[in-house]
Structure 1
């Protein structure tokens, strides 16, 4: 059954349970994943940018969250941020992103950490950011009540370098799962893994699913299906949630 059908059924979430060693789609009656919380202001989303970032990793969630503003009475604020000075950042394929905002996790409700450059050990990308230590240290200091830190693709390795995935359910691009596990993550074979204030997603195109899942969780199922209709895209894959194993 497509996850869209779960979202449409009420506010019950499409999620996953662990059955006979495999993940199977099911619906939960908790309502926790798609019941929109009361907000006094817009949902604030910051997408972290660095040289070598995978273009689709950052553009897909940016598109989803930006489109969700049309379906939220309180609005949605989405911006690219960097731990360095605001500047032109080059993506993995040379695309230039004019990033105007500095890292400010205290002003965000959701932080999205994309990946990129995993196969270029000596080039720009996640390895260079890990070696520098600036972004991992910033991420390590960011957690607070009310903030969700998320990643997609090899952005999870930046979270791991910050110590945020150690001992916690998480996922990443299939080619980096062994590395994530070696760094202490409890890797789940799911498209999106929701462990409350830590939400991770698989490779490259899963930024769409990450965005849609968080839109459903933070703004409600109607907002998520509205974005799906606008983008002419139906979310795919399994979502693992911590509550699905309780």
Structure 2
């Protein structure tokens, strides 16, 4: 089973690493790390991930995973090779998935027109403008497409996809392998109901980054 992980400059590390951890352990999986060109790809926190091939070298993957980025508006303008590859590879893929603002790339490729999809809360308006029906759910399955909300939701998407590929028992075994049993110390992980002071602090943090 060929799983293509799309890489590009400025992508969010956990958007890629979360689903990768949930999927790449399976013995049936051959993971491919694709970008516009083979070589190092720098994430939005400075970590470098090595692309092993260019997008065009794997035209028919079984599964596609597209991470998002905090620089999503720039990415939509810059990543033409990725968008074109998504449009061409989607029809033959069994599953096409995204994490966070990766769904805006799917939408730009014409994959989400009129379909329910989710994304990071900050990009909901953009995703809607690209033709998707925006959901606030953490993971949305619509036919052969699975989209996940912001960043950490990629872990849940990876497990959801594992269950679709290999069954619930295998997905539960993967969950145990990575000891994914989250108990966050705070309850401010979603936009709905968050304290306005937390939003203000987020603004200060992102202004400094």
Q: TM-score range by the shorter chain?
A: 0.7 to 0.9
- Structural mapping, 1:69-218, within 5 Å: 69=27, 75-82=28-35, 84-103=36-55, 104-118=57-71, 126-132=72-78, 133-218=80-165
Greater share of residues in helix:
2
Whose RCO is larger (CA < 8 A, sep 6+)?
Answer: 1
* SS of residue in 1 equivalent to 2:89: coil
Match of 2:22 in 1: 64
Task: Confirm or deny that 1:47 pairs with 2:5.
Answer: yes
5+ residue gaps, structure 2, are 184-209
CA contact (8 A) 1:143 1:149 kept: yes
Residues 47, 146 of structure 1: alpha-carbon distance in 2 compared, 3 angstrom cutoff: closer
Match of 1:222 in 2: 169
Shift of 1:186: 0.7
Could you list the structure 1 runs, at least 4 aligned residues long, displaced by more than 4 angstroms after superposition. Answer: none
Shift of 1:107: 3.7
Q: 2:62 and 2:45 mapped to 1: Cα distance?
A: 29
5+ residue gaps, structure 1, are 1-42, 70-74, 119-125, 237-246
* SS of residue in 1 equivalent to 2:160: helix
Q: 1:67 and 1:134 mapped to 2: Cα distance?
A: 28
Shift of 1:234: 4.0
CA contact (8 A) 2:12 2:44 kept: yes
Shift of 1:129: 3.2
Deviation per CA, 1:141-175: give whole Å up to 9, x if none. Answer: 22224432110101111111112111001100111
Deviation per CA, 1:58-104: give whole Å up to 9, x if none. Answer: 111111111233xxxxx21122111x220110000100111112224
Match of 2:200 in 1: none
Q: 1:134 and 1:223 mapped to 2: Cα distance?
A: 34
